[in-house]
Chains A and B, each alone.
Chain A
Amino acid sequence: MYSDLVMQHFTDPQNVGVIEDADGVGKVGNPMCGDVMEMFIKVKDDRVEDVKFRTFGCGAAIATSSIATEMIKGKPLEEAVKLSNKAVADALGGLPAQKMHCSNLAADAVRAAIEDYRSKGKRAEE
């Protein structure tokens, strides 16, 4: 069912963990009816300096979270926020049709973390 890349990210996920003093935190999903993803980012000079994730979900959920962190690490926020679920799925060599929604969640978590960072910044300015 899963490609080698998906299995690789499942068995050896990148950037697992929490950032205590994160600049942005994105929490998406719902354990009752789906997966839950948490993404933490440190931002410097408008770039994703560091990123960590935690996920409750299936193999695809863990793999998509893992690769999403790799795809945004070091990138400018402008670029990171545009991360699409298709890009995530493609980077993993494709996902089974019924697992595509997992890639949505990963992209959503990235956007939520960046959104959180930006709204904090706005509040600081006010």
Chain B
Amino acid sequence: MGERRIVYLDHAATTSVDPQVVEAMLPFYTERYGNPSSLHSLGREARERVDEARATVAGILNCSSEEIIFTSCGTESDNLAIRGVSLMNRRRGDHIITSSIEHHAVSHTCEQLERQFGFEVTYLPVDEYGMVDPGDVEQAITETTILISIMYANNEMGTIQPISEIGELARSRGIPFHTDAVQAAGSLSLDVQELGVDLMSLSGHKFYGPKGVGVLYVREGVELLCCQTGGGHERGLRSGTENVACIVGLATALELAEERREEESKRLSGLRDHLIEGLLSSIDHCRLMGHPDKRLPNNANIAFEYVEGEGVLLGLDMAGIAASSGSACSTGSSDPSHVLSAMGVPPEVARGAIRMTLGHENTEEDVNGVLEILPAVVERLRVMSPLYGE
């Protein structure tokens, strides 16, 4: 089998590691491998590199180094933020407000707090574009609300939430506000002062950094229960020997992502729009999922009626195109995407939703390739479908 280049359109799932990042990380495996807590020079050097990485991240987020915690991934950051704030603030209240379109790292953590710890959680509805209404957030606030968690940009359909507005509201009511910004890095500003957030989750492998490392920003003054106890690392908030190589990798990747953000966002949204317009005009019975304008620059999620997502993905895969879907068949669960359901998309339509998320290596040629291949893939499945032509 020849080496055919894969057209990779699944950047929301993960990205390659930028070669500059790999280069920055490697010395920390074989040469500068000290444990940052060690007294000797090898340890001290590792400590300095971690501090540097921390300062770099803090600079980009516009906060202080003390407010940055390194974790193992976005999921851990979400868990720490939500479980940590909730359990620590139990005496003040037991009500959490979140949305119905969160990543499972947020929603399942909230559900566990409900089931096992007696918390009350409000899952705010969204409109047909998947947008949360700050008015709904306001209405939901009670005297016992101790946390609001709304994701910055949705991983499935790309809609960008009104974070600054919600941040202002949360600030005025003195309620800690967390945002899962995992999909936003590299595309949107991460300035926590502008956003008005008190906690923010990031994940390295979404912006050309390594897997296995994440960040949780925690504003000074926000109290958090440590969920991983041990040697007291990360100011007692997250124990465990620092993953120096990956921390350095994450900081390097974030720096590069921030440098490239404006230009790359522009380039990607051009490709995205060409892809969306091309598909909507060449295939009938399909629609864009998510907001037409307030969406991530690289996200194109389109639902093709009368066909099932996994079938489309297999057809694309055979043509060397990698995409994804929230279709139950492809995820192994029996329910359609909870995100699309929350938007009012009928289950049989949601099952035909295909998510294509562009990235660094994608070109105009890649988009044209998809436009050539996808219509035939969909048509072949439609001809076989009992739902088509009914």
Contacts and interface: CB of A to CB of B under 8 A. Distances in A.
Interface of A: 7, 10-11, 13, 16, 27, 31-38, 54-62, 98
A62 B312 CA distance: 12
Contact of A35 (B308, B314, B346): B308
Contact of B308 (A11, A16, A32, A61): A61
Give the most central of A33, A35, A56, A62: most B CB within 10 Å: A56
B347 A36 contact: no
B347 A11 contact: no
B347 A59 contact: no
A62 B384 contact: yes
B386 A55 contact: yes
3 cross-chain pairs, A with B, having the tightest CB-CB distances, nearest first: A58-B329, A58-B310, A31-B348
A33 B347 contact: yes
B295 interface: no
B351 interface: yes
22 contacts: A7-B314, A13-B384, A31-B387, A32-B347, A33-B334, A34-B334, A36-B386, A54-B385, A54-B386, A55-B384, A55-B385, A56-B306, A56-B308, A56-B385, A56-B386, A57-B311, A58-B309, A58-B311, A58-B330, A61-B308, A62-B384, A98-B332
B33 to A, nearest CB: 38
Interface of B: 306-311, 314, 318, 327, 329-330, 332, 334-335, 346-348, 351, 383-387
Given A54-B385, A61-B308, 13 more contacts: A7-B314, A11-B318, A16-B383, A31-B387, A33-B335, A36-B386, A55-B385, A56-B308, A57-B311, A57-B329, A58-B329, A61-B329, A62-B311
Chain A interface helix/strand/loop/mixed: mixed
Chain B interface helix/strand/loop/mixed: loop
A34 B308 CA distance: 10
A32 B328 CA distance: 11
Contacts of B310: 58-59
A60 B330 CA distance: 11
A68 to B, nearest CB: 14
Nearest to A31: B348
Given A33-B347, A56-B308, A10 B314 contact: yes
Contact of A36 (B311, B334, B387): B387
Contacts of B384: 13, 16, 54-55, 62
